[in-house]
Amino acid sequence: MNILILGSGGREHAFTLKLSQSTKINELFVAPGNAGTAQIATNLAINPTDFEAIKKVVINNKIDMVVVGPEAPLVAGVHDFFLSDADLKQIPVIGPKKDGALLEGSKDFSKQFMQKHGIPTAGYRSFTNETLEAGYTFLETLQAPYVLKADGLAAGKGVLILNSLEEAKKELKEMLTNQKFGNASATVVIEEFLDGIELSVFVLTDGKSYKILPSAKDYKRIGEGDTGLNTGGMGAISPVPFTDEVFLKKVEERIIKPTVYGLQKDGIDYRGFIFIGLMNVNGDPYVIEYNVRMGDPETEVVLPRIASDLLDLFEGVADQTLHEKSFEVSPQTATTVMLVSGGYPEAYEKNKEISGVALIKDSIVFHAGTKKESDKVLTNGGRVLAITSLGNSIEEALETSYRNIEKVHFEKMNYRKDIGFDLT
Ligand code: AMP
Ligand code: GLY
């Protein structure tokens, strides 16, 4: 089969590598990809939300399946675009249609969905500029800290956690009246604060059945000890040690089943990944958020632990035979450490030459923000490389990642030296 993967990060390099190992693969394409995907697939210089350009390359390259990495093309309706086009409608897209993508595209929608299907989540109410005063009154009924969420996509920045009522009211007005996040904060969800330990669980579903993929924990803050600004993710670990069988059973019964069957009941034909952000509150799971894609860098630790053929699973998603597919996970631990550009997540420079990657033998180097220029590999983003290792323990895997990082160099390279600090 010929497969097209949309996206350009470490997640997409991990998809590309895993799919390249499938016996069913003929040719692999990535749009737009990075220097890592270029080594094992053909990069196509198109934007993943330019549907007409995607159509052209799909037809020209006789693509048999499209795998969508990031949320933007899903929320913009890439799957619906395929279904409505006579030339494309037979080609399966791994990723939900617009209706399912709303689970990530609208916090208000996802809260309503959870409430309707009895899925445990923080209590909440939604407000608009017209109901600002009612928002203030609702805030007064809550205890600090206060959680405000822009309803729409806000590049991961739309959630504010505030310690005082005054600040919370001020920010609510900023979001609703002054459009702090543009149209994304035209509606704001205010919810109760959940106090616990965060983790993520990933589900692959064909709309009827599902496979539970390995759990993972990512490290979102730039600074050691989980301090400083939020990033896309500075590292990840899989599995999460405190997710024992008892906890995972609760997640499956209370969250995964009602989510998959709730989508079905609501007439939403969902085929793709569901990334469930969870809070473990004294042993009970609550949903913090849904994403309609895999996480990045979580994918870089989840996929290397999946022993089964990923393309075989995707075919099951496409033709709703996922329940027939075998699914095996390695018992090993995977860790990944992100190497980022100095300054990230604020302003940073690009086009720094990367050296030393070829010296790494016992870790997998996933490219994130990189590009190839003549025979050099240059930095091309905030998150540059993810160094993934497998081991018999978190310590062993981390030791391998950190040992190999020593071999890599680019100007102003930065990384967290304490990934897994809270778990080891
Ligand atoms: P989200 O974009 O919804 O994942 O929110 C970003 C981050 O805010 C999450 O990863 C949590 O760390 C935190 N967060 C979101 N909602 C809550 C909540 N209700 N209680 C505590 N922390 C939260
Ligand atoms: N690492 C978090 C995310 O992909 O949303």
Q: Are the folds of 2-97 and 124-191 the same?
A: no
Residue 423 — very low, low, confident or very high, per pLDDT cuts 50/70/90? Answer: confident
Residue 243 — very low, low, confident or very high, per pLDDT cuts 50/70/90? Answer: confident
Render pLDDT for 259-301 as a digit per residue (tens, 0 to 9). Answer: 999 999 999 999 999 999 999 999 999 999 999 999 999 999 9
pLDDT at 156 over 80: no
Per CATH, domain 2-97 is 3.40.50.20: yes
What secondary structure does DSSP assign to 299-350, as a single string?
HHHHGGGB-S-HHHHHHHHHTT-GGGS---B-SSEEEEEEEEETTTTSS---
Q: State whether the beta carbon of 218 lies less than 6 angstroms from ligand 2.
A: yes
What secondary structure does DSSP assign to 76-88, as a single string?
TTHHHHHHT-TTT
Render pLDDT for 367-413 as a digit per residue (tens, 0 to 9). Answer: 999 999 999 999 999 999 999 999 999 999 999 999 999 999 999 99
Nearest CA to ligand 1 atom 9: 288
pLDDT at 157 over 90: no
Instruction: Report the pLDDT value the prediction gives residue 104, as an integer from 0 to 100.
Output: 95
Pick the CATH number of 124-191 from 3.30.1490.20, 1.10.260.30, 3.30.70.100, 3.40.50.2300: 3.30.1490.20
Ligand (nearest to CA of 338): 2
Whether pTM > 0.85 for this model: the answer is: yes
Ranges of each domain in the chain: 2-97, 124-191
Ligand 2 centroid to Cα of residue 11, in Å, is: 10
What secondary structure does DSSP assign to 59-128, as a single string?
HHTT--EEEE-SHHHHHTTHHHHHHT-TTTTTS-EES--HHHHHHHH-HHHHHHHHHHTT--B--EEEEE
Q: State whether the beta carbon of 91 lies less than 6 angstroms from ligand 1.
A: no
Of all atoms in ligand 2, which is nearest to the CA of residue 11? 4
Tokens, residue 85? 């086009």
Ligand 1 centroid to Cα of residue 236, in Å, is: 17
Residue 144 — very low, low, confident or very high, per pLDDT cuts 50/70/90? Answer: very high
Ligand 2 centroid to Cα of residue 90, in Å, is: 30
Average pLDDT, the chain: 96
Nearest CA to ligand 2 atom 5: 295
Q: State whether the beta carbon of 287 lies less than 6 angstroms from ligand 1.
A: no
Of all atoms in ligand 2, which is nearest to the CA of residue 220? 1
